[in-house]
Structure 1
Amino acid sequence: MADLKDDLDSGTEVAELGDLPEPFAGKRYDGLTDLDAELLTRAHALLAAHPVADGYSGLPWALRRLPWFDLELGESAVDTDVPRMREGHVGALFWALHLPEGLAGDRAVGATLEQLDLVKTVVRAHSEGLRLADTPGPVTDVRHSGRVAVLPGPAGAASLGDSLGILRSLHGLGLRALTLSGVSWASEAGLTRFGEEVLREMNRLGVLADLSGASADTVRRACAVSKAPVLCARSAARALRPHPANLPDDLLTELGAARGLCMVPLTAEQTGPSVRDVADHLDHVREVAGPECVGLSGTYDAGAAHPQDLADASGYPRLVAELLRRGWSEPDVALLTWGNVQRVLREADFTAREAQRRRAPSTMKIAELDG
């Protein structure tokens, strides 16, 4: 176990950048000042070494309305396709399985199963650019193969139908994250006893807990109960923009203390209309929660408007260039884009393996704990 823990600690280190790799060393950017061009070139080089692990994409639901699509050739009907992800240096992407409001019970379970099936079908049909991945090792392997690693999730809590057996089944089909909100056991009042049991079973399986949009009481209790890091897949700083899904500074502090991850969304509604606004939120979250607790969430194809110059998945180099302009170190940028997500995945995997040695699958029912 000590060796495995050492691997976790050493995994947060980032490589030093050397000479700029082609094709970025000789790239020209018309209309930019020399400083802007230099920063953008550095951003491309940094992202080539440490690509973006994007915390949220609404692509599965967006693709349902298209009669035909080709993500490898390029698809103008959506914000995300393989060419734009390569241009933006996206190395891994969480494909959300969230549902329209109002779906519950068997309908929610069925719709989630359909989306999981769609994710697998889409990835199989685009095998030159995409590949399913779950644990940190395969995610890194997929990146080195020149493909984008696809991680199914987060799904909505309603997709469980209040059943831990369904949670295990969804995990077996590939689910890697679940949002703890909008159900009786994870509500404005916080986690119930059954909600805590769901979280413990998620830890045992290696399913990440997403707390975006959860109540303050749920966030605090999840941070206290979870043995694995939690994440907020779509949360920025409420001190800068009072959106209900954004986190106040006290919760950012608690999230940082719990080694969780706040993934700042690239949406005009939550972060503002410009690249600088997004960078302001990243600055604030890094200052309050720490450089190891901030990540990126494109939130593309989720029906949201995006800041100027960040309209699709190709825009990440512009954002990184702005961070470099502000004095972010290359190691801190590397943590933001890739390292922090890999650390969370590694620790969740470590927690799951240890929990499976000590704990059998839970057979508890909601009526037994919350009835």
Structure 2
Amino acid sequence: MADLQDELTATPGVGELDSLTAPDESRLPEPDPEPAPDRTTARSLLIRHPVADGCCGLPGTLRTLPWYDLEAGEHAVEADLPRLREGGTGALMWALEATADRPVTSVLEQIDLVDHVVARYPEGLRLARSASETADARAHGRIAVLIGPAPATAAGDSLGTLRALHHLGLRVLTLSGASWAREDGLTRFGEEMIREMNRLGMLVDLTGAPAATYARVLAVSKAPAILTRSGAAALNTHPDNASDDLLAALGANRGVCLVACSAARTGPALRDVADHLDHVRRVAGPESVGLSGMYDTGEPHPEGLADPTGYPALLTELLDRGWPETDIALLTWGNVQRVLRGVEFTARETRRRRGPSTATC
């Protein structure tokens, strides 16, 4: 009996415990895979972090229509209120066009139109001139409307006109095509324009700018710059797309490249837009990438992104590619808000040092 008791209570030797207690891993059931992100996940993210869209051509489209109803759903446009809400859009930069024969007047007429459209839909839209007003519109369930980008020709080579446009609400100016932003860089008056934009709190849009121009702008400007409708030139050679050198410089400047949902700039499919977003995020950094729908600009869109309701599908693609939610939040809302705040901070600091410039072209 003693021998039997010893046998039952004996401590296993070294290595015997593993053989007694370790299960056969080959017979264990496979762990459940992580659930793949779906549109429900993307929509939940968009509720918390809506899209701040970098370029919408709605003012130009509405000018051509005899009547419209953005609230009921308007088939003649791509970015009516129901589709903006369904796609999770929280802010829009409304792009203005400048005609060759009347650049200043045509932009003034569109600013007047923007004011009337926003006033007509107070339950859906709210005009915003700053980061705080953009956030306030979102907090009250409205879509914030920022005026711009507008072509630099709208300023008419006049700092006084630039200040008047800013007073009327213009917040973004595209340099491409300006007489003072040339292939070989900025003229002395051009540098003064950039300094005055810093003082006013206007965003400098480098879309389509030559390499010498953007290099000089980033050297002169004390505020972050943006690209309102670009892709990666390494993936698509459209003239408005940004080289890796520009993307890296923009990242160092803490600016933002708003990647265009444009078949010509980024490609014919939703995954092509995602490829550009991946590239910009890798080269410029996650704090320097955003979205530009290009809706109502007349440009064809990639399949799956024909209107703002495609944003949840695009975010789902990015989540499938491993983008963390923190980077998605920066992409959709955080980066644009940070740049707006940065430009406003620069303006306050600049006004302490200098008054309005009296330079002439």
Matched with 2:27 is none
1:72–1:128 CA contact under 8 A, matched in 2? no
Q: 1:142 aligns with which of 137, 144, 158?
A: 137
Is 1:151 the equivalent of 2:150?
A: no
1:88–1:314 CA contact under 8 A, matched in 2? yes
Q: Deviations over 1:200-253 (max 9, x none)?
A: 000000010001011111111111111110001011101111111101111111
Give the distance between the partners of 2:98 and 2:156, measured in 1 at CA.
13
Give the distance between the partners of 2:320 and 2:235, measured in 1 at CA.
20
2:334 alignment partner, SS class: helix
- 1:35: Cα distance to partner? 6.0
Is 1:197 the equivalent of 2:192?
A: yes
User: Letter of the aligned partner of 1:98 in structure 2?
Assistant: E
Give the distance between the partners of 1:313 and 1:46, measured in 2 at CA.
15
Alignment of 1:248-263 (within 5 A): 248-263=243-258
Give the distance between the partners of 1:192 and 1:235, measured in 2 at CA.
25
Give the distance between the partners of 1:39 and 1:326, measured in 2 at CA.
12
Alignment of 1:259-338 (within 5 A): 259-338=254-333
- 1:99: Cα distance to partner? 2.4
Q: Deviations over 1:148-167 (max 9, x none)?
A: 00000011010011100000
Give the distance between the partners of 1:120 and 1:344, measured in 2 at CA.
24
2:73 alignment partner, SS class: coil
Any stretches of 5+ residues in structure 1 without a counterpart?
1-33, 367-371
Matched with 1:53 is 52
Alignment of 1:111-190 (within 5 A): 111-190=106-185
Give the distance between the partners of 1:77 and 1:189, measured in 2 at CA.
42
1:178–1:210 CA contact under 8 A, matched in 2? yes
Matched with 2:203 is 208
Give the distance between the partners of 1:72 and 1:83, measured in 2 at CA.
7
1:232–1:262 CA contact under 8 A, matched in 2? yes
Give the distance between the partners of 1:88 and 1:317, measured in 2 at CA.
6
2:236 alignment partner, SS class: coil
Give the distance between the partners of 1:258 and 1:238, measured in 2 at CA.
19
1:268 alignment partner, SS class: coil
Matched with 2:5 is none
Give the distance between the partners of 1:232 and 1:319, measured in 2 at CA.
20
Matched with 1:44 is 43
Is 1:73 the equivalent of 2:72?
A: yes
- 1:98: Cα distance to partner? 2.3
RMSD after superposition: 1.1
Is 1:83 the equivalent of 2:82?
A: yes
Q: 1:108 aligns with which of 91, 103, 106?
A: 103
1:96–1:155 CA contact under 8 A, matched in 2? yes
Q: Deviations over 1:57-89 (max 9, x none)?
A: 111111000010111111110111111010011
Give the distance between the partners of 1:197 and 1:282, measured in 2 at CA.
33
Length-normalised TM-score, structure 2: 0.89
Give the distance between the partners of 2:217 and 2:250, measured in 1 at CA.
10
Q: Deviations over 1:89-124 (max 9, x none)?
A: 100000011224x33xxx111111000000001000
1:196–1:225 CA contact under 8 A, matched in 2? yes
Matched with 2:9 is none
User: Letter of the aligned partner of 1:168 in structure 2?
Assistant: R
Count of paired positions: 328
- 1:360: Cα distance to partner? 0.4
2:91 alignment partner, SS class: strand
User: Letter of the aligned partner of 2:323 in structure 1?
Assistant: W
Any stretches of 5+ residues in structure 2 without a counterpart?
1-33
Q: 2:345 aligns with which of 333, 344, 350?
A: 350
Instruction: State the identity %.
Output: 62
Give the distance between the partners of 1:161 and 1:250, measured in 2 at CA.
30
Give the distance between the partners of 2:58 and 2:219, measured in 1 at CA.
32
2:112 alignment partner, SS class: helix
Matched with 1:27 is none
Structure of larger gyration radius = 2
User: Letter of the aligned partner of 2:282 in structure 1?
Assistant: E
Matched with 2:26 is none
Give the distance between the partners of 1:145 and 1:39, measured in 2 at CA.
28
